[in-house]
Structure 1
Amino acid sequence: MKLIKPLIIGIVLLALHSCKDKAIKITVTNPLDVERSFETVELTKEFLEVTDLTNIGIKEVASGKLQVTQNVDVDGDGIMDVLLFQPVIPVKSEIDYEVVTITEAEKPTAPDYCYSRFVPERTDDYTWENNKVAFRVYGPTAQKMIEDGVKGGTLSSGVDAWLKKVEYPIINNWYKKNSIKAGAYHLPSQEGLDNFHVGVSRGVGGLAVKKDTTYYYSKNYTEWRTITTGPIRTSVYLNYANWDANGNTIKESKVISLDLGSDFSKFEINLEGTNTISAGLTLHEKDGVVSGDNKNGWVSYWEPHGDSELGTAIMASPEYFVSYETYDTNQKDLSNAYANLKVIDNKVVYYAGFGWKERGEFNNKQEWEAHLNDVSKKIQNPLLVKLNK
């Protein structure tokens, strides 16, 4: 009997040790009848029940292959909050992954196609891109130049589109050649060009607040903070001075993120002072076609553009998307197609982006709209992630 008791204690201790060291696994499920790729799974410390994401890796159980990941410090406190990866999940399938501890040398690498930065050499643009599209917005110096009558400024909270047609980052290349010869990036090159006019329009996704029949806008952003860049996502925080919408004071800040493989930036807007907003698409020469789908939650504008064609769009999930409309006026740059969106608990989320025919992905309006329906279906039916302990 004296030998049995220590043996029982040893078995219990071994069982407890095994439970403690049991691998954490997650299952990612695709509920749709289309393959899912270039969609980002976000794993927080709280979800994984870990205290540090620094040396965490994600390994596909079946193949044993480590996934490309990116850690993100969301709040800028120096501690990583979220781990990102992009699985490939077949039609109506699920794949198991194991959460493992790895060294820096073991981490798989991939090009940092998701890039953004503040651009002091061009007044104070903030520009972001991935392997497919690029965008920029304008800062307080550019605004003050206009207000002081100084040449070269920009007063707009619209979102500019940079029409790139290469996978690698072009932001630094374009600004460098622009510093050598002003306006150089407006000329065609093998990398694409910036021939998208914004002015005071909404560009691709700038917001407005509608009161009666008038749309009110903020001015340029006042503060910026790069949140992350890397192989999977780039994101930026922008703040705006309080602005007036027909007697209502609007407080606005936002986080804009762009993921690998996406044609759309995600806008997460924090607002006070309004229950609705309208996110807009400039109509330029008004020679294109506005279309929309209230059920799938999108509005689109397909237009002739230079020697090519261009589709722009805004989409949102059903909880935010209310309707779409066209605002046509003779005032320069003020004609826009709008997605009317609901603000819930001082927040609204929408996606804005474009497809350029010359890049070779979309050849016509029908292909562009089919893509919008596909993306909308995925937004409304996200990948499901379950923790298995």
Structure 2
Amino acid sequence: MTVTRNKHFLYLTLACLVAAACTQKPEALPKFMVTNDLNMDRSFETVEIELKDITPEGETLDTSKTYTIIDVETKEEQVSQVSDTDGDGTPDVLLFQPEIKANSTKTYEVVPKEDQFHKDTIPSCYSRFVPERTDDYAWENNRVAFRTYGPVAQKMIEENVPGGTLSSGIDAWLKRVDYPIINRWYKKELETEGTYHEDTGEGLDNFHVGSSRGVGGIAVKVDTTYSFSKNFTKWKTLETGPIRTSFWLDYAPWTAGDQTISERKYISLDYGSNLSKFVVEVTGTDTVSVGLTSHEKDGEISTQVDQGWVSYWEPHGDSEIGTGIVAPKGAMIGYENYLTNKTDESNLYAHFGLEAGKVTYYAGFGWKKSGQFNTQEDWNGYLKDFATKINNPLKVSKL
């Protein structure tokens, strides 16, 4: 009799628990509205949602899960990435890239799911230190690729060892495929009879940097002379993923006139963008200049300082290439087309004032042979629209 009563009590308790569970709805994660105020359709622009706004108050991020974004209307899952934007080792935002028509809004909801990312997969937005090729640092997305040079390459030049590079300029790798090529090209150069200096269908490295500023290196002008750092001395990869890769580079102190300059670059590259974002911390000066190499000095310059962009379009091998710098409104204060007979020192410079010891700008390129831009007008139109968008970002509001 006692056993029967205990069983009955157990069944009743379980039934009540099940009923309670069925009637309780799990706490819903908030929805977010994204607004496009411009009279142009928007895509390939990264939106950031603060993780503290999507996790219950007092709780920390569940690292066994990843958060994804769902379009409320279409129910389609958006590509997203959890990101550590301040580099403290803790993710703080969720990134995604909505497609929104001109003057319209869209609503999205956040949904947690098991992390299905394969760790051995090279993401679309990728960067790494490359010790097998001296000590480059290289980065890329689905449209462009870049690299710059480390202390071993500098030491080789200083000690007259063949194969070194002395430059803090930014090199452009001219890819014309949308998949990652950094590892493929280094392997091709170092482990096969092929070379990344020849285009066999994916693109090539034939963009000369030397001691120039390449595509977005900085300099400090004192009187009529531009001075700049040597190779980076330290590096740290912050993230790679489907939406963004980011990292920082440190440089040894350098001099401009009687000023001692310190420099640290935070660089990021988002999916779909031809321009890397640079946030450069600088001490020892109130102004810096960001350069685009002029190569053979046969290119065409376009400048719209009041809109925040400068452009250089030039013949390049069997094609043409455009390079450009874009800045938030008011950050760019002038420009100079600096031409000299000194090797690699001719650059189109955009001038910037520092704000709280920092300067923020975007720099990159468009290669005609990639099929992305066919004319100088196409490239300049891209820079103009890019400037408009960064000065009028998509607005995110929690519902």
With normalisation by structure 2, the TM-score equals 0.88
Q: Determine which structure has more spread, i.e. the larger CA radius of gyration.
A: 2
Structure 2 residue 61 is matched with structure 1 residue 52? yes
Change (3 A) 1:376 1:186: same
Q: Which residue of 1 aligns with 2:72?
A: 61
Equivalent position amino acid for 1:30 in 2: N
- 1:120 and 2:131 correspond: yes
Find out whether 1:276 has 2:290 as its counterpart. no
Give the alignment's Cα RMSD to 1 decimal: 2.2
Q: Quick one: which of 15, 19, 38 aligns to 1:32?
A: 38
| Equivalent position of 1:8 in the other structure | none
Deviation (angstroms), 1:363: 1.1
Aligned residue type for 2:191: I
Pick aligned residue for 1:266 from 260, 274, 277: 277
Q: CA deviation at 1:52?
A: 1.2
Structure 1 runs of 4+ with >6 Å offset: 17-20
- Are residue 177 (structure 1) and residue 226 (structure 2) matched? no
- Using the size of structure 1 for normalisation, the TM-score is 0.91
- 1:277–1:49 Cα change, 3 Å: farther
The C-alpha deviation readout for 1:206-261, integer Å capped at 9, x for no partner, is 00011111111011101111111111111111111111111111111111111110
Within 5 Å, which residues of 2 pair with 1:205-354? 205-354=216-365
Q: 1:47 to 1:247 in 2, by over 3 A?
A: farther
Going from structure 1 to structure 2, the CA distance change for 1:210 and 1:106 (only over 3 Å counts) comes to closer
Give 1:53 shift: 6.2
Amino acid at match of 1:26: F
Inter-partner Cα distance in structure 2 for 1:303 and 1:373 = 18
Amino-acid identity (%): 56
2:84 and 2:376 mapped to 1: Cα distance? 39
Does 276-285 or 243-252 show the bigger shift? 243-252
Q: Distance in 2 between matches of 1:106 and 1:94?
A: 30
Stretch of structure 1 that moved more, 124-133 or 245-254: 245-254
What count of residue pairs does the alignment treat as equivalent?
371
**Is the 2:55–2:61 Cα contact (8 Å) retained in structure 1?**
no
Bigger CA drift: 149-158 or 53-62?
53-62
Deviation, 1:179, is 0.5
- AA paired with 1:340? H
Q: Which residue of 2 aligns with 1:139?
A: 150
User: What letter matches 1:262 in structure 2?
Assistant: S
Residue of structure 2 in register with 1:71 after alignment: 82
Q: CA deviation at 1:275?
A: 1.4
Structure 1 counterpart of 2:41, one-letter code? E
* Inter-partner Cα distance in structure 2 for 1:267 and 1:229: 16
Partners of 2:72 and 2:108 within 8 A in 1: yes
Give the drift of 1:319.
3.1
CA distance in 2, matches of 1:283, 1:181: 33
- Which of 94, 112, 135 in structure 2 is aligned with 1:101? 112
Give deviations 1:171-212, integer Å, cap 9, x for gaps: 111101111358811112200010000000000000001111
